[in-house]
Structure 1
Amino acid sequence: MNATALTEDENDDANLGLYQRATQTGAEWWRVSVADRPETYRLEHGVDDASGTGAVDIDLVVDAENLRAKLKKWRREGFAIDSGDTASAPGALERKAFMPELRRVAALAAAARHRPDDDTGETVRIGRVEVRCGAGGALVPRVNPAYLFAARFNDIVEDIGENRRVMLIGHTGAGKTSLIEQVAARSRHGVLRSNMNGQTTVGDFVGFWTVKGGETLWVDGVLPTAMREGLWLIVDEIDFAEPSILAALTAVLEPHGRLVLKEKGNEIVAPHPSFRLFATANAVGAMSQFRQLYQGANLMNEAFLDRWRVYLLDYLTPAEEADVLMRTLAPNMTRTLAATLAAIAADCRAAFAREDLSSAFSTRRLLDWAELMLRTGDPERAAGPAIYAKVSPEDAALIRGIVRHHIAPAA
């Protein structure tokens, strides 16, 4: 038996293999392999005798913590890992080679994506990504210099540059729309927004015929307008959209998808190269567990979602939000004040996720409260118009309790 000492590794996957110890009649062994569920491991036990390999008499699945406990027990009992079995196990070499090979080809792909060509045009760096600039215009959002582009946004920005259809899901006030707008602001692209608030019709979205001065005219909706003019279109709260609007969108979801205006004699609208399509939602996919918090949200099938790159966007961490407060309200906002306010916001959001609060707590609301607080010098007085008047009396009472938990009353 080619055996080595049993070791504990912080990476439990490094402990896969066959563990053996000699017995009077042969050998006893445990085999560790990856189970079907993430972060779980399959343990098989057997005893070999003089006649050959024995059958598996124990077969169970454990989590990582239990595996580490088993490793300690086996060490005490004299088991050693058979290094030869690890290498020869079916798929073991391929499994170990996968991540190094992936890193190698991913680095090559990244170099190819970022290799300059003769016609790149002007670009701006956002995070780690170079984004091609647009033509500017009145529809370009205003740059927020205090906006924080967290590292986790890099994949989203890269998808925008590659003209992927991006859907951002998350709670109200998590910054889904503002992320897209701030990318557009820095790269000088015009933005149109269409809010699926239950009153937006397919005519508003695609277009309609109207009579003006005795003449019948066609009026483009926001979708063909954005496609023709190379604007970025954000479909807010797409999980509240009418089925007819979703049907119109489906044809455009491919990177170079075209829109057919049936009402206008099947006119085909081809997308401008700068056109980008985005959607935001509260209760879709990984957010479906919060559907009860967003009454009226529609269930979206996987076939529709598979046409998007869907990113789950959570609120900023307390440390990130404290940085935003300081950058936005400098020089008056201190680190101590910002950290406390960010902690209050985090507690309010946790209460919302537990359904103790019926209203979310956005970064915009926090900034408004902080700005008014710096002007008045009184958290409670500032919270009146910034928070309490916007929520139910029950929510206001709970938020007031959270505030008082973090801020002692003035002497």
Structure 2
Amino acid sequence: MNAPDLTEDDNAEHLGLYQRATESGAEWWRVSVADRPQTYRLEHGVDDAGRVGTVDIDLVVDAENLRAKLKKWRREGFAIDADDNGESDSDLNRRLAFMPELQRVAALASASTAKQRPRADSGETVRIAQVEVPCGVGGALVPPVNAAYLFPARFNDIVEDVVENRRVMLIGHTGAGKTSLIEQIAARSRHGVLRSNMNGQTTVGDFVGFWTVKGGETLWVDGVLPTAMREGLWLIVDEIDFAEPSILAALTAVLEPHGRLVLKEKGNEIVAPHPSFRLFATANAVGAMSQFRHLYQGANLMNEAFLDRWRVYLLDYLTPAEEADVLMRTLAPNMTRTLATTLAAIAADCRAAFAREDLSSAFSTRRLLDWAELMLRTGDPERAAAPAIYAKVSPEDAALIRGIVRHHIAPAD
């Protein structure tokens, strides 16, 4: 029995029943997945004279401890039973055949989808991440391109969904780059963007439209939703978990495939979406982020029926290596790898403190870039941090961040 390192991709092969014959019967250990991530449940027993013994050891270990157990069991003569849990030969063959079959049909489906995609308004496409994205016609509402922006491979599915006109919701902590991801896709593909921030002040009239009087004449004014739908713009509903129920109700019909908006206030006028129209949302405390709802006071619960109308992606902050690359690309040629690596590590430690709730404020890439830019001008991390970081947070948070900075940066001689 081999015991290679355990990873997320191969740990499944180590689950099962490990047995050896003894004078008193078959001794076994059963390995299964425990409740917490990257932990495993180990159960031990001895089958006496053909009878299944009771579990006499039941414990939970991490991956490192399981590796040690696997090596020990190998030395003691235990072997894994691949047919544990009564799996028949046909069940085993079907389970083994699933992934090869899926990969085969997924490749065919991908090729077929690429052929059926509508042509771009401009007849052009641009490659973003690993996806060909149809280009728009440009205009004043197209966001500026950030040349330093990174599109890691994990963004491929999101870009694919944009091309396929899926309703995409991005969830994650403040400053994780949810809105900027959509804006940079739009910037590179020349699509105009409208943003509507659900900050508690946005009304259903602002969102859908309203009647007003101008020069003695009563006029209808479209809100951001029908404007984007008519003109083929991309609409980002920021912090949708703070939206009023009336706004969510207006959105529901539009979320359906080829969904249309009915303007009841305008005599039930129907607004059909332009082919280039795209709808996005961002949220801080939805779905997988619900555990952090107490950090985002005022966020509303969203039912599964509403969430099921979206493709929901959890966005985390950039890795330290990715963030160091962004720093170097944004602040070239003055930013060196040594400086960038240290600054990215400080940001990572601040975010870890935020996740532990030691800090009450998040640490965005935007904040890190601002601090780094001012630091290059002043030559002094503390002086630069005063307006870029410390003045934006509570005194308690500032003191903790200052401690993290000093942990990574020794004072000048």
Q: Normalising by the residue count of structure 1, what TM-score does the alignment of the two structures yield?
A: 0.88
Shift of 1:33: 7.8
Whether the 8 Å CA contact 2:20–2:28 is kept in 1: the answer is no
Aligned residue identity for 2:298: G
1:409 paired residue among 399, 404, 411: 411
Instruction: Output the CA distance in 1 between the equivalents of 2:200 and 2:11.
Output: 50
CA distance in 1, matches of 2:295, 2:230: 37
Structure 1 CA distance, aligned partners of 2:391 and 2:326? 24
The answer to whether 1:229 aligns with 2:231 is yes
Matches within 5 A, 1:282-321: 282-321=284-323
* One-letter amino acid of the structure 2 residue matched with residue 122 of structure 1: E
Could you tell me which of 257, 263, 266 is aligned with 1:264?
Answer: 266
Query: Kindly tell me: are residues 215 and 293 of structure 1, through their superposed partners in 2, closer, same or farther at Cα, counting changes over 3 Å?
Result: same
* Cα distance, 1:125–1:116 mapped onto 2, change above 3 Å: farther
Contact 1:41 1:67 in 2 (8 A): no
| Residue identity matched to 1:28 | A
SS for the counterpart of 1:194 is: strand
* Partner SS state of residue 111, structure 1: helix
Contact conserved, 1:15 with 1:32, CA < 8 A, in 2? no
Query: Displacement of 1:119 after TM fit?
Result: 4.5
Q: Counterpart in 2 of 1:3?
A: none
Partner of 1:329: 331
Which AA in structure 2 matches 1:175?
G
SS state at 2:257 partner: coil
**Secondary structure of 2:229's partner?**
helix
CA contact (8 A) 1:29 1:46 kept: yes
State the Cα deviation string for residues 176-207 of structure 1 (Å, max 9, x = none).
10000000000000000000000000000000
Mark the runs of 5 or more structure 1 residues left unpaired by the alignment: 1-5
Higher-Rg structure is 1
Q: CA deviation at 1:106?
A: 1.8
Structure 2 unaligned regions, length at least 5: none
1:358 aligns with 2:353: no
Look up the equivalent residue of 1:97 and give its one-letter code.
Answer: A
- 2:178 matched residue in structure 1: 176
User: Could you tell me the percent identity over the aligned residues?
Assistant: 80
Cα distance in 1 for partners of 2:165, 2:335 equals 39
Deviates more, 1:268-277 or 1:66-75: 66-75
Deviations 1:6-57 (A, max 9, x none): 33354443356665555679x63648586696875786866475xxx54464
Q: Which residue of 2 aligns with 1:217?
A: 219
Superposition deviation, residue 255 in structure 1? 2.8
Offset, 1:114: 2.9
Report what 1:91 is aligned to: 91
Equivalent of 2:280 in 268, 278, 281: 278
Deviations 1:86-129 (A, max 9, x none): 97457222222222222222222222233487946311000100
The within-5 A match list for 1:1-400 is 6-10=1-5, 11-15=10-14, 21=20, 28=26, 30=28, 40=40, 47=47, 49=49, 54-55=51-52, 57-58=54-55, 65=63, 71-72=70-71, 74-81=73-80, 88=88, 91-115=91-115, 119=119, 121-400=123-402
What CA distance in whole angstroms lies between the structure 2 residues aligned with 1:407 and 1:72?
A: 42
* C-alpha separation in 2, matches of 1:326 and 1:9: 37
Q: Write out per-residue CA displacement over residues 271-290 of structure 1, whole angstroms, 9 at most, x where no aligned residue.
A: 11100000011111111111
SS at 2:255 equivalent: coil
Task: State the Cα deviation string for residues 272-323 of structure 1 (Å, max 9, x = none).
Answer: 1100000011111111111111111111111111111111111111111111
The verdict on how the C-alpha distance between 1:78 and 1:382 changes in structure 2, with shifts beyond 3 A counting, is closer
Between 118-127 and 277-286, the greater mean CA deviation after superposition: 118-127
Offset at residue 366 of structure 1 (A): 1.1
> What RMSD over aligned residues (CA atoms) do the two structures have, in Å?
2.8
Q: How many residues align?
A: 402
1:322 touches 1:338 (CA, 8 Å); kept in 2? yes
